[in-house]
């Protein structure tokens, strides 16, 4: 009964266009933030951080990034893994070349480098669309992974061909390296995610977001109202790649600590992030969170149920997981192409009228 717009009159266009127009939503959002920043860091342990929370935060950044490109601007990309690798390697090179500079700046610069690479690989999108563009970005994926394997300069000529993150501190706490505590990792990623999600929300509700969506929905009509397709598409590639690059840098430096490029940033990663936004909801920031949470949570839940409760062998549970994800993708594409976010929207619409729907 409290989920209502009635009586909540908006008196300015600013109020009317805010992210959470219903006051209950607004309070719930503040509550989530308070719990995330004020409660969870005190309860978190290594298992929760490494199995669930930190990967969720990092994948959420990547999913927002891909959602900007695919969900908002309509340009399908299968190069997410490759772009994450760019972020990771850029971060590694910066960390080792400039040890005194703050890790936060390195992570952001890694995003910047990835944005440039993204624009470069986005150039074909001016000529080709849909499946053909997907194949072009697939080429980017394989080329980038090959490049980081082949050129020793990228991994500082280390014998194993791996890169590993040296210890760096942020505000006096270690956030990379083996001495990092679970809560430091979590808070570092969370802070970056919250800021980036806020930026993404602002971009997508403003002029530039409308340009992206116009290109997505009908590029000819977009051009007739004055959208330059070149700048609109390339800006989407740049912003998207920035997000993906930051997530790659965090994935390497904060989460894994040491990576081998083909293993950590292979084609599976591209598909994983794509599945996240399909299941979560194309063209929705909330959907990026929902999809990331779902696909990070699913293997853990299945393992707890299958292995720990039912006592099945691990490999069978792993296979079941693949089947379930595949089935879900097909189901969402057929039944609800806008994903979990749309289910959530429908639920909210119903709730607004409940219990008198007519």
Which residue's CB is nearer to another protein, number 239 or number 250? 239
Neighbours of 62 (CB within 10 A): 31
Which of 51, 293, 94 has the alpha carbon at shortest distance from 186?
Answer: 51
Supply the minimum distance, in Å, between the C-beta of residue 223 and another protein.
4
Which residue's CB is nearer to another protein, number 202 or number 268? 202
Question: Across the strands, what pairs with 163?
Answer: 259
Supply the minimum distance, in Å, between the C-beta of residue 12 and another protein.
7
Supply the minimum distance, in Å, between the C-beta of residue 229 and another protein.
7
CA atoms of 72 and 283, how far apart (whole Å): 5
Residues 6+ apart with CB under 8 A from 74: 212, 215, 216, 217
Which residue's CB is nearer to another protein, number 167 or number 336? 336
Q: Reduce the DSSP state of residue 76 to 3 states and report it.
A: coil
Supply the minimum distance, in Å, between the C-beta of residue 346 and another protein.
13
Provide the CB-side half-sphere exposure for 69 (13 A, CA).
Answer: 35
Following CA atoms 302, 344, 334, 129 in sequence, which dihedral angle do they give, to the nearest 10 degrees?
-110
CA atoms of 344 and 93, how far apart (whole Å): 42
Q: Which residue has the tokens 């503040």?
A: 30
Supply the minimum distance, in Å, between the C-beta of residue 212 and another protein.
11
Supply the minimum distance, in Å, between the C-beta of residue 226 and another protein.
4
Which residue's CB is nearer to another protein, number 99 or number 206? 206
Which residue's CB is nearer to another protein, number 160 or number 207? 207
Question: Token pair of 109, please?
Answer: 């610069």
Supply the minimum distance, in Å, between the C-beta of residue 202 and another protein.
4
Question: Token pair of 155, please?
Answer: 């991994």
Supply the minimum distance, in Å, between the C-beta of residue 238 and another protein.
9
CA atoms of 219 and 320, how far apart (whole Å): 41
User: Measured in Å, how far apart are the chain's first and last C-alpha atoms?
Assistant: 15
CA atoms of 112 and 90, how far apart (whole Å): 9
Which residue's CB is nearer to another protein, number 12 or number 160? 12
Which residue's CB is nearer to another protein, number 202 or number 314? 202
Which residue's CB is nearer to another protein, number 34 or number 221? 221
CA atoms of 30 and 20, how far apart (whole Å): 11
Length of the chain: 358
Pairing of strands 173-174, 258-259: unpaired
Residues that bind another protein (CB under 8 A): 12-14, 16-17, 199, 202-203, 206-208, 210-211, 213-214, 216-218, 220-229, 235, 239, 283
Which residue's CB is nearer to another protein, number 45 or number 228? 228
Supply the minimum distance, in Å, between the C-beta of residue 245 and another protein.
16
Question: Token pair of 320, please?
Answer: 């079941």
């Amino acid at each position: 009964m409290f989920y209502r717009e009635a009586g909540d009159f908006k008196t300015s266009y600013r109020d009317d266009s805010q992210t959470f127009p219903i006051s209950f939503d607004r309070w719930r959002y503040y509550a989530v933030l308070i719990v995330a920043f004020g409660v969870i860091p005190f309860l978190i342990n290594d298992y929760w951080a490494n199995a669930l929370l930190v990967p969720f935060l990092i994948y959420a950044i990547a999913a927002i990034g891909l959602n900007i490109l695919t969900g908002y601007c309509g340009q399908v990309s299968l190069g997410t893994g490759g772009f994450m690798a760019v972020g990771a390697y850029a971060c590694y090179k910066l960390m080792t070349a400039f040890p005194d500079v703050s890790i936060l700046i390195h992570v952001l610069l890694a995003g910047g480098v990835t944005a440039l690479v993204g624009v470069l690989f986005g150039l074909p999108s001016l000529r080709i669309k849909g499946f053909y563009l997907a194949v072009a970005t697939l080429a980017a994926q394989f080329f980038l992974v090959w490049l980081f394997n082949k050129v020793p300069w990228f991994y500082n000529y280390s014998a194993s061909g791996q890169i590993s993150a040296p210890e760096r501190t942020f505000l006096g706490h270690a956030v990379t390296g083996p001495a990092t505590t679970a809560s430091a990792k979590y808070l570092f990623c969370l802070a970056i995610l919250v800021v980036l999600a806020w930026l993404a929300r602002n971009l997508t509700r403003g002029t530039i977001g409308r340009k992206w969506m116009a290109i997505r929905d009908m590029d000819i009509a977009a051009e007739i109202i004055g959208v330059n397709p070149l700048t609109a598409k390339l800006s989407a590639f740049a912003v998207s790649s920035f997000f993906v690059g930051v997530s790659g840098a965090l994935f390497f430096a904060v989460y894994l600590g040491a990576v081998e490029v083909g293993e950590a940033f292979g084609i599976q990663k591209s598909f994983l992030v794509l599945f996240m936004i399909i299941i979560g909801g194309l063209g929705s920031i909330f959907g990026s969170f929902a999809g990331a949470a779902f696909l990070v949570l699913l293997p853990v839940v299945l393992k707890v149920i299958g292995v720990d409760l039912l006592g099945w062998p691990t490999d069978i549970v792993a296979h079941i997981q693949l089947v379930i994800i595949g089935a879900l993708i097909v189901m969402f594409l057929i039944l609800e192409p806008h994903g979990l976010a749309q289910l959530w929207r429908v639920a909210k619409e119903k709730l607004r009228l409940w219990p008198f729907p007519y």
